[in-house]
Structure 1
Amino acid sequence: MSDTPFGFGLPPEEPENGDDGQKKGGGQGGGQGPANPFGFGGSAAGGDNPFAAMFGSMNPNDLGAAFQQLGQMLSYEGGPVNWDMAKQIARQTVAQGTADGSKDASVSAGERSAVEEAVRLADLWLDGVTSLPSGAGSAVAWSRAEWVEATLPVWKDLVDPVAERVGAAMGDVLPEEMQAMAGPLLGMMRGMGGAMFGTQIGQAVGVLAGEVVGSTDIGLPLGPVGKAALLPVNIAALGSGLGVPEDQVRLYLALREAAHQRLFAHVPWLRSHLFGAVEGYARGIKVDTSKLEDVVGQLDPTRPEQMQEALQQGMFQPEDTPEQKAALARLETALALVEGWVDAVVHAAAAPHLPSAGALRETLRRRRASGGPAEQTFATLIGLELRPRRLRDASRLWASLTDARGVDGRDALWEHPDMLPTAGDLDDPDGFVHREHLDFSELDKMLGEAAGRAKDAGTETGGESGEDGKGDKGEGEK
């Protein structure tokens, strides 16, 4: 798993033994992208060249279109990520299907109806285990391609701060008096950098679309606000081989989606808290500008393959900083608390109704522990790896809080971020529950005494005001 955002700094892959020199990877790998993202100086076809997918088979009839698209890439003047390219590559990745041969398909009327019914029933069950009301104004069934379309705006919010910080270094490495002279070169570099980001992100999102079952799989609200979404084709793939009826699998996943929707709808600060941690990480990035200076000083505009070589050598390798580590720790803890709360309330809602609730719960936990969508996507895009141990600890903490303080007391902790458990509290969930229970009991007592004193003072003040009022009135009448 990559320690670097967007897979930058990865060395070229070595040929497999007995594979006639063909490179490994290239297909539906874990979102890391190909060894030669731009195809410069490499094979024009095959899985290691996404331009082959963009330009077709690269036969002579396609060369005109190929160079036209290459010119559009180099002349790109948008933000730090070429999102048009990201969307195109994500859609193409989805169209190719997953490694097990599963293909995307349009959602049928029956599948749409089944999803709507599952979310409706899930919300009814959740009403009994959480004080947060329903957050799903509607329920939709998406194909993989529809998931890509619907979630790209949020991926933009997540990735742009990181890409912006890295891309800014490209214009900082030259002395100010030389930047005007090197304008065309810098423009080409930014265009290629935007294409590189777009390629990596498009592949990661496309692969992820073949795995996710809803809009909140990675613990963040990727879809439109108030819209619970499930992917029937991926639900069927997940349920195959489990020995559990598909309607139970769908209902359990609907519970998880509906629980996420409640949390993000009724904890107004949560979304900005999570996305702010990503921006904090971006502010902490320190690009190796000395290496970038060496590359820019030697770059020949007539040999664009040098840019690819520089990328593979780690030109944009970010350095670890205290700010970056703190932001990642804050994001990791917050995501663990979100996932832990969902795990706890879904189990409480499902256990009395679904015989397979325990097995499904463990299946999803193992799926995450073995490197599921969340870990792979965050490791590829922002260098974050979620630790499954944190999710289990958070789930146990929320369940213990329910036993100690009840549903209302547990959910009250979401009223403000300062009330939430910390990373240290996840190491000792029972200690946090015991301490918080005592603290809140004492706080309730103090608030009650304060309210009593305020009432007594108000009565006395009110009597005096009434007398003064009468006196003032009498003076006025006189």
Structure 2
Amino acid sequence: MNDLPFGFSSSGDDGDDAKGRSGRGSGGSGGSGGQDNPFGFDLGAGGAGFDPSQLGQMFSQLGQMFSGMTSGAGSGSGPVNYQVASNLARQQIGDFTPVAGKETEAVTEAVRLAEVWLDEQTSLPAGVTTSAAWTPVQWLEEAMPTFKRLCDPVAEQLSGGWTDNLPAEAKQMAGPMLGMLTQMGGMAFGTQLGQGLGQLAKEVLTSTDIGLPLAAPGTAVLLPEAIAGFSDGLELPAQEIIVFIAAREAAHVRLFSHVPWLRERVLSTVEQYARGITIDFSGIENAAANIDPAQLLSDPSKIEELMSASTAFEPSATPEQTAALERLETLLALIEGWVEQVVFRALNDRLPSTSALTETMRRRRASGGPAEQTFATLVGLEMRPRKLREAATLWSKLVESSDITTRDGVWAHPDLIPDSGDLDNPAGFIDRVIGGDVGELDDDPIAQLEKTMAEEAAAREKESSGESTEPDESPEPPADDDDQGSSKG
């Protein structure tokens, strides 16, 4: 999985991953659908595999691109061509099973049951007002507005950096071609986004599976077709799996419904990261310096040389970007950790498969689930499973040291939520939240022994001074009071 935004790779990459992604593109032809063939058509050896019917599609796409350049409007005029992304994603999805009425009813009942059980384990009130079952295409349509918010800031910085950092001579020579380059960049970004969304649409289990709510406020959504695929091989009761996934969705909806700043904080953190993107263009500048512009028309190998140099484009991480990525990683881990803990506590005594399903979800995250794939593609971020485990541990220890109201109260303001350092030192965070000295509650046997010895020493001191160490344990305190009063009289 590429860990650089929009598929930028270092010069040492062999391109296998890019070719693999192209093989999942439209037509499913695979082959040379990577950088050497940006439209994804398989020419085969010597062009023998070329399908003449694809030629019309290619010219149609080119016509749309030039039309967008002329009008300066439409989906192709921005940093990402979302029309290309949507079309390609639909092709990636392919055939899908329509949602049956009984599946919608099953989702509604599972969510309703999960909400009742969640009430006992969180102080946040129920957030679900309606339930729905989606097809992959419905998920794609609902997800697109949010992905525009995520993609535009990064794509704008990358496309702007391309034109702003071109040498003056190159800009003058390019002239009107710069507009076409921008359009081609938008198509390239749209192509990669479409491939990613098409794959995600077939894998996500709920509307919050990427860590952000993609449905309308108060709406809990499950995707039956994806859940059926997820259930294959688990050898667990299907009804328990549905209720477990419904509980995770309902918990996400509660959190985002009653923590209004949360969704915007995730999106704004991505934007903060994007604003700091800088790219090292030394690779293409050095290559261009040694090439006669006239050769680009007469010698195609020179164009290939420049394209090879462009693979060295790599966003340079600034301190501000590093901080933004850390905040984003931590926030996503806190969301996932809170949901995991609340769902586990609500279902563990009711569904025998709760522990197994919780572990399955953790492995899904560790092996690169939808959230990791999405954010790795968009902002070069891979959520580390270690952070997820530590976030879940922090929420669990906070409940053990206080109560669910205190735990959920942490979400009241963004300044109260834990940071990355708190995940490494949960006891210190708990100290600040409950205002007590709970540092010794951490797994420190020496501290616990010292506490026990101090309590025993205090008890012995009271005994030596004649004070009772058990003043409140008399089985009949009223009778004792009467006896003391009559003796004094």
> With structure 1 as the length reference, what TM-score do the two structures score?
0.79
1:83 and 2:79 correspond:
no
CA RMSD of superposed structures (Å): 3.1
Larger Rg: 2
Q: Which amino acid aligns with 1:413?
A: V
Give the Cα–Cα distance (whole angstroms) in 1 for the partners of residues 308 and 142 of structure 2: 30
In structure 1, the partner of 2:385 is: 388
In structure 2, the partner of 1:270 is: 262
Q: 1:338 to 1:292 in 2, by over 3 A?
A: same
1:423 and 2:411 correspond:
no
Asked whether the equivalents of residues 287 and 306 of structure 2 are also in contact (C-alpha less than 8 Å), the reply is no
Asked whether the equivalents of residues 40 and 305 of structure 1 are also in contact (C-alpha less than 8 Å), the reply is no
Give the Cα–Cα distance (whole angstroms) in 2 for the partners of residues 140 and 122 of structure 1: 15
Deviates more, 1:300-309 or 1:343-352: 300-309
- What pairs up with 1:32-431 in 2 under 5 angstroms? 36-37=33-34, 40=37, 44-45=41-42, 59-73=51-65, 75-77=67-69, 78-95=77-94, 104-174=96-166, 179=171, 182-293=174-285, 300=296, 306=303, 310=307, 313-314=310-311, 316-431=313-428
Q: CA deviation at 1:185?
A: 1.1
Give the Cα–Cα distance (whole angstroms) in 1 for the partners of residues 404 and 151 of structure 2: 36
Q: Residue 229 of structure 1 aligns to a residue in which SS?
A: strand
Give the Cα–Cα distance (whole angstroms) in 1 for the partners of residues 179 and 349 of structure 2: 61
In structure 2, the partner of 1:8 is: 8
Give the Cα–Cα distance (whole angstroms) in 2 for the partners of residues 277 and 41 of structure 1: 31
Asked whether the equivalents of residues 259 and 342 of structure 1 are also in contact (C-alpha less than 8 Å), the reply is yes
Deviates more, 1:282-291 or 1:385-394: 282-291
Q: CA deviation at 1:320?
A: 1.5
Q: CA deviation at 1:230?
A: 0.7
Give the Cα–Cα distance (whole angstroms) in 2 for the partners of residues 374 and 111 of structure 1: 25
Q: CA deviation at 1:155?
A: 0.7
- Give 5+ residue unaligned stretches, structure 2: 70-76, 439-489
Q: 1:137 to 1:34 in 2, by over 3 A?
A: farther
Q: Residue 2 of structure 1 aligns to a residue in which SS?
A: coil
Map Cα deviations across residues 223-262 of structure 1 (whole Å, 9 max, x no partner): 3322211100111111121121111101100100111111
In structure 2, the partner of 1:27 is: 23
Asked whether the equivalents of residues 124 and 258 of structure 2 are also in contact (C-alpha less than 8 Å), the reply is yes
Q: Residue 139 of structure 1 aligns to a residue in which SS?
A: strand
Q: 1:291 to 1:72 in 2, by over 3 A?
A: farther
Q: 1:169 to 1:145 in 2, by over 3 A?
A: same
Asked whether the equivalents of residues 368 and 375 of structure 1 are also in contact (C-alpha less than 8 Å), the reply is yes
Give the Cα–Cα distance (whole angstroms) in 2 for the partners of residues 207 and 232 of structure 1: 16
Asked whether the equivalents of residues 8 and 311 of structure 1 are also in contact (C-alpha less than 8 Å), the reply is no
Give the Cα–Cα distance (whole angstroms) in 1 for the partners of residues 360 and 68 of structure 2: 44
Give the Cα–Cα distance (whole angstroms) in 2 for the partners of residues 254 and 106 of structure 1: 20
- Give 5+ residue unaligned stretches, structure 1: 16-22, 96-102, 442-478
Q: CA deviation at 1:307?
A: 7.8
Deviates more, 1:152-161 or 1:367-376: 367-376
Give the Cα–Cα distance (whole angstroms) in 1 for the partners of residues 225 and 302 of structure 2: 40
Q: CA deviation at 1:8?
A: 1.4
